[in-house]
């Protein structure tokens, strides 16, 4: 079975795969690359690369979210026990389908237990997946105390324990280096032929659209500029990179934030669906940015 993301993820990149494929280096399939994702999230691009580019020499993923990277590690090291715990959570949650109040109590009880961080790593990882599959829109948001605070979603019988995919993911991740830290620390994993894919917390299109509390420390404009500086450093060192982010100019034609800070690189605007707005009428297509440090043949033809 082909491994696919085991999490629902606000801003997941599955829908951008065709556009990302178009901007890959022309020798990506033929040459032994090191592929590095410093903001792995649900790993949509990671699993696509693992499935479609077997010549990859080395794969490195990183995220600042320790609970997320520990879940990846649990899937690698202890998939069967993780599946057992998830199976129990799924059976208990599905048994409450017809009692909304008790189901809600169960969800918040598990959220409180998760935030105590008092269980062993496998159980904590199972709680991470459980909350992800049952919370509002697969959103991951924490407060300043690093407490997960997303309310329960409205799913009737969500698939909490996907045994076959967890086993496939466990197998796929055996060749992956898993890091937990600042994005700049991934530089130490580069080889002479390295490609980075950056999917950082997006710059909000408005104050009310901010889902940026992904970690207890905000990824603000200063962090976006620090990431740009890191990209410039990679370029000087000869490493290639692709970066996606929100198109703030599409919301405000006078907002040239990304056009200015990435003026020395190649900026494309691609269509993507917004699906995390609480108001269904405000969901729909909008532009996102796809920025590269190089041009390939497909881009030159545009």
Give the tens place of pLDDT for each residue, 160-184: 999 999 999 999 999 999 999 999 9
- Classify domain 14-64+181-212+219-301 at the CATH topology level: Rossmann fold (3.40.50)
pLDDT at 208 over 60: no
pLDDT at 246 over 90: yes
CB 82 within 8 A of CB 128: no
Q: Which residue has the higher pLDDT, 129 or 210?
A: 129
Give the tens place of pLDDT for each residue, 41-67: 999 999 999 999 988 999 999 999 999
**All structural domains of the chain with their residue ranges:** 14-64+181-212+219-301, 72-164
Q: List, in order, residues 6 or more apart from 104 with CB less than 8 Å away.
A: 152
Name 198's bridge partners.
243
Out of 3.10.20.340, 3.20.20.70, 3.40.50.300, 1.10.1020.10, which CATH number does the structure's domain 72-164 have? 1.10.1020.10
Q: List, in order, residues 6 or more apart from 294 with CB less than 8 Å away.
A: 25, 240, 266
Q: Could you count the other beta carbons within 10 Å of the beta carbon of residue 184?
A: 14
Residue with tokens 């545009």: 302
**CA proximity to 257, closest of 301, 224, 300:** 224
**What pTM was computed for the model?**
0.92
What pLDDT score was predicted for residue 279?
47
Q: How far apart are CA 46 and CA 42, in angstroms?
A: 9
Output 267-273 pairs: Cβ under 8 A, ≥24 positions apart. Answer: 267/291, 268/19, 268/23, 268/292, 268/299, 268/302, 270/16, 270/19, 272/15, 272/16, 273/15
Give the tens place of pLDDT for each residue, 25-48: 999 988 889 999 999 999 999 999
Give the tens place of pLDDT for each residue, 85-138: 999 999 999 999 999 999 999 999 999 999 999 999 999 999 999 999 999 998
Q: What is the mean pLDDT of residues 264-280?
A: 74
What pLDDT score was predicted for residue 299?
59
Q: How far apart are CA 277 and CA 254, in angstroms?
A: 24
What pLDDT score was predicted for residue 278?
47
What pLDDT score was predicted for residue 212?
44
Give the tens place of pLDDT for each residue, 279-301: 444 456 788 999 999 987 555 55
Q: Which two tokens stand for residue 266?
A: 């190649």
Q: What is the DSSP letter of 135?
A: B
What's the mean pLDDT when you consider all of the chain?
A: 91
Q: What is the DSSP letter of 140?
A: -
Q: How far apart are CA 257 and CA 266, in angstroms?
A: 15
Q: How far apart are CA 137 and CA 142, in angstroms?
A: 15
């Amino acid at each position: 079975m082909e491994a696919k993301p085991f999490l629902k993820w606000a801003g997941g990149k599955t829908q951008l795969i065709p556009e990302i494929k178009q901007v890959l280096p022309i020798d990506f399939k033929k040459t032994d690359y090191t592929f590095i994702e410093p903001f792995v999230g649900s790993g949509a691009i990671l699993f696509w690369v693992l499935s479609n580019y077997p010549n990859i020499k080395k794969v490195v993923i990183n995220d600042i979210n320790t609970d997320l990277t520990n879940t990846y590690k649990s899937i690698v090291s202890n998939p069967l026990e993780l599946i057992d715990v998830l199976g129990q959570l799924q059976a208990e949650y599905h048994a409450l389908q017809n009692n909304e109040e008790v189901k809600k109590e169960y969800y918040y009880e598990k959220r409180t237990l998760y935030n105590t961080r008092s269980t062993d790593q496998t159980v904590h990882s199972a709680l991470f997946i459980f909350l992800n599959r049952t919370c509002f829109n697969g959103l991951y948001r924490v407060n300043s105390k690093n407490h997960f605070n997303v309310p329960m979603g409205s799913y009737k019988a969500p698939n909490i324990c996907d045994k076959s995919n967890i086993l496939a993911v466990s197998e796929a991740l055996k060749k992956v280096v898993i890091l937990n830290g600042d994005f700049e620390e991934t530089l130490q994993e580069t080889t002479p032929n390295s490609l980075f894919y950056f999917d950082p917390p997006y710059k909000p299109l408005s104050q009310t659209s901010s889902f940026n509390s992904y970690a207890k420390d905000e990824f603000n404009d200063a962090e976006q500029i620090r990431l740009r500086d890191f990209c410039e450093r990679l370029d000087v060192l000869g490493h290639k990179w692709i970066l996606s982010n929100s198109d703030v100019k599409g919301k405000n034609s006078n907002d040239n934030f990304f056009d200015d800070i990435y003026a020395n690189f190649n900026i494309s605007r691609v269509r993507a669906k917004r699906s995390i707005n609480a108001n269904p009428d405000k969901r729909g297509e909008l532009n996102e940015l796809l920025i590269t440090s190089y041009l390939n043949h497909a881009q030159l033809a545009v």
